[in-house]
Amino acid sequence: MSFSRLRLLALSVLGVGMLGVAWASAPATTPAAVSAAPTLAPSAPIPALPPGQVQPVAPGTRTPPKIPTLTLTPAIPQVHQVQYLGNGFIEVAHAIVTVTPQERINLRPLALQVAQRVLEARPSLNEVDISIYAKSSYAGFGGPLPLMTASVPRMRFGDFGRWVSSKVPYERVWVNPGNLPAYRAPDRVREVLPPTASELVNQKQARLHGGVVGGLLYRGKDRTLPIAALTFDDAPHPMYEPLLLDVLRRSGNKATFFVIGRNAAAYPYFIRDMVEARHEIANHTYHHVRLSPLSPSEASAEMHWANQILEGITHQKVRYFRPPGGDYTPQTLAAARSLGLTTVFWTDDPGDFQNPGEMLLESRLRNKLRPGGIVLLHDNAPQMLQVLQSFLSAARHQGYSLTTVGGLPK
């Protein structure tokens, strides 16, 4: 189907309003389908509110670089903002759309209209990703989940149009089942908290010997082979993920993504993209919540729900876990172990989430790279995206293989 025909279709559908969204058509993997962990009371549901402090996603302490925005002329009233970014090879836009309760019945044709107009407005875009939120509760990416999301690579626009017009299956779309946990605003807490005295003993051993010590992994065991792990926290993000995956694909590197369960639920197709590219999917809790103030069963539930979401999407066992902010207790470690998870820390935190500047970030990355190291990055840090290609190239020239946590000699 041609672009112009799809445009006509979108406009006509919008005009007559015949196509309603299958609102109750829950995806195969939803928290409603999550069963209780063995350590929980039988049939324990996901609570209406996260049980503790929610860690902000990549809370930069310095002003982030300004992300360019796209203006649609004439405007589509429901479009809140369209941001776009490139990685030196491709460009991806993220359109944020907000709707009133009356507009919810026409989400599909609205999404098609937005996709078509954004792709037309900037011909260099390779993809537009769309997040449609309820206008009354929209509070940014970390706020209440969208009503619907879609990923529309330019090459797949026709397929997306057929999903809208004919209900032909299209796998890069998600419709909120309407039964997900309520939202709680993030608390401003430090990204990395100092460990307690008892934790320091375990950490010292894990750092000293390498490999897994008491459920902790700080670095690989082998300090001679030039192999280090590349890890990205807080995934997935609807603008950064395709850009990041594209850089990794071009360099041939594999990485471990520590994924927030609720965001994986809303953007499951990015998790499938990661699996298809043979990256490793790991657990970063369901709500991106601080774990140390929680009871052991609450902490266990956070990990369990994220596991359920991820394993439902990937059909693979989750092996690794990283607590948001690196904040954990011995009970957290025990809970992770009981779920079969190794808790992963890092040898190298260049502070990409704090926007230190591209030159400083890249020099930190290059200078700290060590055999057996674990590099901590965040998938939605714009300066990271700008220096990653150069860092990966430098690492390769030094003879390093950057790979997943699972690929690290332990």
Active site residues: 233, 378
Q: Which is nearer to Zn ion, 181 or 324 (CB)?
A: 324
Query: Closest CB to Zn ion among 215 and 324?
Result: 324
Rounded Cα–Cα distance for residues 251 and 228 (Å): 15
Considering only 233, 246, 348, 379, the residue that binds Zn ion (CB under 5 A) is 233
Q: How far apart are CA 128 and CA 212, in angstroms?
A: 41
Closest distance between Zn ion and the C-beta of residue 334, in Å? 21
Stretch that binds Zn ion, among 43-51, 181-189, 234-242, 262-270 (CB under 5 A): 234-242
What is the pairing mode between strands 401-403 and 173-175?
Answer: unpaired
**Which one of the spans 9-17, 139-147, 233-241, 331-339 is the region binding Zn ion (CB under 5 A)?**
233-241
Total of chain residues touching Zn ion, rule CB under 5 A: 3
**Cβ distance 127 to 92 under 8 Å?**
yes
Which of these segments, 40-48, 168-176, 194-202, 317-325, binds Zn ion (CB under 5 A)?
317-325
Q: Is 324 in the site for Zn ion (CB under 5 A)?
A: yes
Q: In the bound complex, what is the minimum distance in angstroms from residue 310's beta carbon to Zn ion? A: 15
Tell which residue, 270, 250, 252, 251, has the closest CA to residue 260.
270
Q: How far is the CB of 288 from Zn ion (least distance, A)?
A: 6
Instruction: Tell me how far, at minimum, the Cβ of 344 lies from Zn ion, in Å.
Output: 12
Which of residues 234 and 273 has its CB atom nearest to Zn ion in the complex?
234
Nearer to Zn ion, 163 or 353 (CB): 353
Q: Give the three-class secondary structure for 265.
A: helix
Integer Cα distance of 259 and 275 in angstroms: 12
Phi, psi of 250 (to 5 degrees): -70, -35
Report, in Å, the least distance between residue 58 CB and Zn ion. 7
- Map the footprint of Zn ion across residues 153-172, applying CB under 5 A: none
352 in contact with Zn ion (CB under 5 A): no
Q: Identify which of residues 328 and 400 has a Cβ nearer to Zn ion in the complex.
A: 328
Would you say 284 and 258 are in contact if contact means Cβ atoms under 8 Å apart? yes
Window 194-223: residues binding Zn ion (CB under 5 A): none
Kindly tell me which of 324 and 382 has the beta carbon lying closer to Zn ion.
324
Min. distance of Cβ 377 from Zn ion in angstroms? 11
- Spatial CA neighbour of 355 closest among 55, 57, 59, 54: 59
Angle made by CA atoms 124, 127, 130, in degrees to the nearest 5: 130
- Smallest gap from Cβ 339 to Zn ion, in A, equals 18
Verify binding: residue 234, Zn ion, rule CB under 5 A: yes
Helix (H) or strand (E) holding 228: strand 227-235
Q: Which tokens is 295 given?
A: 């009871």
CA 136 vs. chain centroid, Å, equals 24
Please tell me whether residue 327 binds Zn ion under the rule CB under 5 A. no
DSSP single-letter state for residue 82: E
CB of 322 to Zn ion, least distance (A): 7
Stretch that binds Zn ion, among 319-327, 354-362, 388-396, 398-406 (CB under 5 A): 319-327
Residue whose C-alpha is closest to residue 322's, from 141, 191, 183 = 191
Sheet holding 148-153, edge to edge: 79-86, 91-99, 127-134, 148-153, 173-175
Question: Cα separation of 329 and 321, whole Å?
Answer: 14
If the CB atoms of residues 143 and 226 are measured against Zn ion, the closer one turns out to be 143
Tokens of 303: 């990990």
Nearer to Zn ion, 30 or 283 (CB): 283
- Show the tokens assigned to 91: 């460009």
Q: Which helix (H) or strand (E) holds 128?
A: strand 127-134
Q: Give the H/E segment covering residue 200.
A: helix 197-209
Q: Is 50 in the site for Zn ion (CB under 5 A)?
A: no
Per-residue binder mask for Zn ion (CB under 5 A), 282-301, x = binder = --------------------
Assess contact for 58 and 44: CB atoms under 8 A. no
**Judged by CB under 5 A, which stretch of 129-137, 299-307, 318-326, 353-361 contacts Zn ion?**
318-326
**Site residues, Zn ion (CB under 5 A):** 233-234, 324
